[in-house]
Structure 1
Amino acid sequence: NEAGFRKDVTLRNSVNARSENKVNEMQLKRGHEDNYCQDKNQSQLTLKRNDSMTSIKSRGNWGSKWEFLLSCVGLSVGIGNVWRFPYLAYENGGGAFLIPYLIMLFLAGKPMYFMELAFGQFAGTGPLSIWTCCPIAKGVGAAMVCVSIVVVIYYNVVMSYALYFIYSTFQKELPWNRCDPEWSNGTNCVIRSLTVWQAAASQMFFSLSVSMGGLIMYSSYNDFRHNIFKDAMIVSILDTVTSVISGMVIFSVLGAMSHELGLKVNDVVKSGPGLAFVAYPEALSRLPWPHVWSVLFFLMLFILGLDSEFAILETVLTSLSDEINFLRRHKLKFTVAVGICCFLLGLPCVTRGGQYIFEIMDYYGGGISLVFIAVFECIAISWVYGYKKFALDIYFMLSKQMGFYWHVTWKYTSPIILAFIAIYSLINHTPLHYGDYDFPSWADSIGWCLTAFIVFQIPFWALIAIFKQNKGDTMWEKLKLAIKSTEHWGPKEAALKEEWRILKTGINSVYIVKKDLEAAKEPAKLSRFEMKIGSENKAYKSEEKY
């Protein structure tokens, strides 16, 4: 019996040892599998993040927040403030022009300025490829690129004026001291005229560079968490102050000239883009050492135009490079080629009849077109993509909730006011004029063709987006698919995009996980272990209690 008992104990110990070894092997194997899965998932996540970061690095980004801020100031505060604002104010009521300008700035300018900066920073891509949030609106980005091409062509002409004046300064007597200007009557208007509001809207967009794609392009190179709101407020205020100061200088000089000549202000000089190049030299000639001040002033004017020209040209380059990788790989050659083409296209603007070509490009290409683009941009972001979605995107990016002002201006005041002005400009259009010269109907038609080419990019690309949908059977189904965001929409970095998607769905968010962990942080305790089955085991609890 004792031998049998020992044999039974030995056999039982052997079975238990083999069972324990088998369990350990299974646990060890499972541990290896878990570690392998975790390592694999971690490797995939790391690889995905590295690919995203490589993409961001290959595209480029700002070295510091000051680079971005000063670049935005250079883009918005430019020749348009010093040259374009004063002559538009002169043509549209003088100081009274400030009233519609400031109202338009408050109801549409500032809101859209911040909208574009936030839009570009969130997606991290240019104005042409950013519309994955709303594929049907890709034509808005295409229209922005077209406007930028037109502006970048004739903007060089204004810069050439500044260089010519610098060259003319190196004489014993300043040329504008002995020059007898040809006077002509200016034009007046009242604030109640909607033409004034149209001029205020076009100047506001031109000055702030809204609806031209430059703001989206610049902010797309930002760090994702950069405080874009503060920069938007600083730049928009600086832009307005610069325009007002420039206007005050022009009208002060005109008042002094009017007093000396014994003429009315509107009889002193003719209105038009050349107004600033009459008033500013006159003011400089009255200062001590006028040659020095003239060189400094026109050099400043040239530099103001240069940084704006860089930004507008870069908008075209970035937009096309984001769409076509081949161009990004050959960015230098692409930049030189575009620069040479724009230079050659701008040469007609410096011929004897070049001023009239310049007027057509400025009014139809860089003025009225921006109002139409702004209307569709507001509708696409605030209504088609949705204000709530966009506000949530900004909250995820900046931890800032959008207030009542942004809700009202983005959804209602901006699109409604701008749409009304755009429709009015079509109904009550008057032929373009320069001084006493009225443009012929055929020249006006060329201008409208330029506007149509820019604006018709919007419906053209909308139709392409609709017909590219393969899933929908009917036109209505294709339309609904064309207004939905694609899987490419979201932050550029993969980790941020995943976090953003979690926030959007509300499932497994950080807050929910944290709450669940706090509720279940007390570990489970096993009261007793016995080799018994079911209710015979004291540690057993039925599923009903769970």
Structure 2
Amino acid sequence: MPGLLADVYNKKTLAFQDVSEQDEESDENGNFLLSEKKKQEKEELEISESDDGPAWDSKFQYLLALLGWAVGLGNIWRFPFLCWKHGGGAFLIPYTVLLVFEAFPLFFLELLFGQVHRVGSVKLWYKFDKRALGIGCASAVTCLLIALYYNVILSWAAIYLGNSFSSQLPWSKCPTINGTAVPECAQTSPTEYYYYRNVLDFAGWGEEGSSDIVTKVLVSNVIVWGLVFVSCVKGISSAGKAMYVTVIFPIVVLVIFFFRAITLRGASGAISMVFTPDISKAFKIDAWKDAAIQTFFNLGLAYGTVISYSSFNPRKNNCQKDAIFVATANYFVSIIATMTVFGIVGFKALTNTDEMLKKFRGGPGLAFIAFAEAVTKLPCPQLWSVLFFGMILMVGISSQIGILLGFLLPIHDTFLQKRIKQSHFTAGSCITLTLVGIIFCLRSGIQWLDIFDSNACTIPLLVIAFHECIMSSVVYGVKKIHKDVKSALGFISKIQPFWDICWKLISPVLLGVIIAFSFYDLIMAPVKVSYWDSFNFSGPSSTDAPTFSIVCLYIILLTPLSQIPIQFILQTLKLRKSRKYKEPNKNNNNNVA
């Protein structure tokens, strides 16, 4: 965006600078001038002097919140799938490299800006350059769209959790009619049948009943939204307390599952296959593309949540150490989750490990089908089922809290603080999202989820992160970032040159390449949605998305992306108008003289 970089090419000109009346002085001709002191204040962004306002109860609570945000469902079902897909341990090569050079520097940068400037994502970029208001707005809109569909996945987990207390797990065997197994289940498997027929009651677009509401999913979705509302109603005050349950419980359960998984029969074969690197796959383009996207989303970048969470920190805090701790912990959680997943699924396959890996799938199917079947074969299956689906629900809620706060906090603080109480805004948002989210509670709901969860929400976050890099390193400037680092840490780190080269060059270049590949895939590859045909069953399949859903996909894609150019144009016009109003016409002054 050439206009956005105007200050870079002409640093002597304050492009469309918005000047408040109290910062102005008039010369003898009535022309408005800036005093040297005020000019310096405008040139160097002021840092808020007050630490008053909401804050985390403790550093431990803050780190829990960051961990709860970073560790999500992707660690449990996306990362293991990518390890299998890209040569086992070989995938760790591109993943580690890109974590260090792409995601890690941006994570530290967001922590730094939130902590030092003590504002949310919308105010932050507006503070740097009023024309960059759209970056924060795009983050907030993306969070809103993701929160809309993410909750229904948690409602599925809640259904499984509730049924885990049954005397016999309902997905452990096929239901019968007059002593005969239901044909639809007999031709698939009990777990497939339970997921697609009992929980989702699947009917694809164009099929009879596809627009019918699945009552149990709707009720479960409302209950989960209620839990999320209670966790967010008082902002970080309530969210911070919720983290003690939603973060600590899943970590404890994951550790328990890890030690159980590695001791199961058949586990060693699967785990050895995962971590025996196929180096030839480590250098394929697809592996690097998937690794780049996974590292990016594993740390939850560009949502605005990291900035908001960090803004409630004391200004004097070593956020560099926080970034290292959270990124490292998230890295090892992904590896532990992968070993656990393959240990459990390897136990399920026993002697057919090769066949099992050929049918390996990522996403919800891993949790609700593969894991659900595996726990039925463990001693005391109800206990393991409660632990597993309780873990999925808690991990999901901690992520959903962060997603929702990524919308609520910056929007309320920027636009609504004097108009409506935060609790009322939170309640209204949750009710609205619950009502709109009914579309995911339909029998075709999983197909709608596929549209939302595809590139429609992935690409906007990548584009937002790219603009964050440009705004930070080019428009705001590395010198000012150094001042922020010194303000937060009290010193300039020895690895600061590494951060600088990543912010200025490596990270934006990598993001640009990923964005290009993502748009290419979106345009060239056919859009697919989930499909299940129990009577022609050869495993879960997909089908081409109909035209109306592809149109919806592009609307979803453009809704957050459009915020950046629209706000750029609006703020530019506003600043031009303000400047014209405050600067008298020199020709008129000359005529008077």
The code of the aligned residue for 2:323 comes to A
Alignment of 1:334-483 (within 5 A): 334-402=425-493, 403-429=496-522, 430-433=525-528, 434=530, 435-440=540-545, 442=547, 443-470=549-576
After TM superposition, give the deviation of residue 122 of structure 1 in Å.
Answer: 0.9
Match of 2:98 in 1: 104
The code of the aligned residue for 1:469 comes to L
- Tell me if 1:134 matches 2:134: no
After TM superposition, give the deviation of residue 267 of structure 1 in Å.
Answer: 3.6
Contact 2:75 2:333 in 1 (8 A): yes
The partner residue of 2:161 within 152, 163, 166 is 166
Match of 1:215 in 2: 306
The whole-number CA distance in structure 2 between the counterparts of 1:102 and 1:279 is: 27
Look up the SS of the partner of 1:177 in the other structure.
coil
The whole-number CA distance in structure 1 between the counterparts of 2:486 and 2:426 is: 36
Look up the SS of the partner of 1:437 in the other structure.
strand
The whole-number CA distance in structure 2 between the counterparts of 1:432 and 1:327 is: 44
The whole-number CA distance in structure 2 between the counterparts of 1:136 and 1:340 is: 32
The whole-number CA distance in structure 2 between the counterparts of 1:98 and 1:356 is: 31
Bigger shift: residues 80-89 or 344-353: 80-89
Match of 2:375 in 1: 284
The whole-number CA distance in structure 1 between the counterparts of 2:114 and 2:323 is: 13
Contact 1:68 1:218 in 2 (8 A): yes
Match of 2:151 in 1: 156
Alignment of 1:173-192 (within 5 A): 173-178=168-173, 180=189, 190-192=281-283
The whole-number CA distance in structure 2 between the counterparts of 1:141 and 1:69 is: 23
The whole-number CA distance in structure 2 between the counterparts of 1:330 and 1:266 is: 52
Alignment of 1:311-330 (within 5 A): 311-326=402-417, 329-330=420-421
**What's the RMSD between the two structures over aligned residues?**
2.8
CA gap of 1:216–1:174, structure 2 versus 1, over 3 A, is same
The code of the aligned residue for 1:128 comes to V
Match of 2:80 in 1: 86
Contact 1:147 1:212 in 2 (8 A): yes
Q: Which runs of 5+ in 2 are unaligned?
A: 1-47, 175-188, 194-277, 531-539, 581-593
Contact 1:322 1:328 in 2 (8 A): no
Match of 2:55 in 1: 61
Bigger shift: residues 72-81 or 378-387: 72-81
After TM superposition, give the deviation of residue 76 of structure 1 in Å.
Answer: 1.1
Deviations 1:335-374 (A, max 9, x none): 1110111122222223221111111211224423222211
Alignment of 1:229-308 (within 5 A): 229-261=320-352, 264-308=355-399
Contact 1:194 1:421 in 2 (8 A): no
Deviations 1:243-295 (A, max 9, x none): 12112222233334444447623443554432222232334334332211211
Match of 2:274 in 1: none
After TM superposition, give the deviation of residue 142 of structure 1 in Å.
Answer: 1.0
Deviations 1:152-202 (A, max 9, x none): 11221221122111122122222343251569xxxx995455344333333
After TM superposition, give the deviation of residue 418 of structure 1 in Å.
Answer: 0.9
Look up the SS of the partner of 2:454 in the other structure.
helix
The whole-number CA distance in structure 1 between the counterparts of 2:96 and 2:353 is: 32
TM-score by length of 1: 0.71
Contact 2:319 2:488 in 1 (8 A): no
- Percent identical among aligned pairs is 33
After TM superposition, give the deviation of residue 424 of structure 1 in Å.
Answer: 2.0
Bigger shift: residues 65-74 or 216-225: 65-74
Does 1 or 2 have the higher relative contact order (CA < 8 Å, sep 6+)? 2
CA gap of 1:341–1:277, structure 2 versus 1, over 3 A, is same
The code of the aligned residue for 2:455 comes to Y
The code of the aligned residue for 1:456 comes to S
The whole-number CA distance in structure 1 between the counterparts of 2:419 and 2:111 is: 23
The whole-number CA distance in structure 2 between the counterparts of 1:269 and 1:458 is: 39
CA gap of 1:293–1:139, structure 2 versus 1, over 3 A, is same
Bigger shift: residues 453-462 or 433-442: 433-442
The whole-number CA distance in structure 2 between the counterparts of 1:94 and 1:431 is: 27
Deviations 1:97-153 (A, max 9, x none): 333322221111111111100011111011111121122222111111011111211
Q: Which runs of 5+ in 1 are unaligned?
A: 1-50, 475-546
The whole-number CA distance in structure 2 between the counterparts of 1:456 and 1:150 is: 14
Look up the SS of the partner of 1:170 in the other structure.
coil
The whole-number CA distance in structure 1 between the counterparts of 2:353 and 2:307 is: 49
The code of the aligned residue for 2:399 comes to S
Look up the SS of the partner of 1:438 in the other structure.
strand
After TM superposition, give the deviation of residue 223 of structure 1 in Å.
Answer: 0.7
Look up the SS of the partner of 1:175 in the other structure.
coil
The whole-number CA distance in structure 2 between the counterparts of 1:328 and 1:84 is: 41
The whole-number CA distance in structure 1 between the counterparts of 2:413 and 2:464 is: 21
The code of the aligned residue for 1:115 comes to L
The partner residue of 1:205 within 296, 307, 310 is 296
The whole-number CA distance in structure 1 between the counterparts of 2:316 and 2:82 is: 38
The count of corresponding residues between Structure 1 and Structure 2 is 418
After TM superposition, give the deviation of residue 71 of structure 1 in Å.
Answer: 1.1
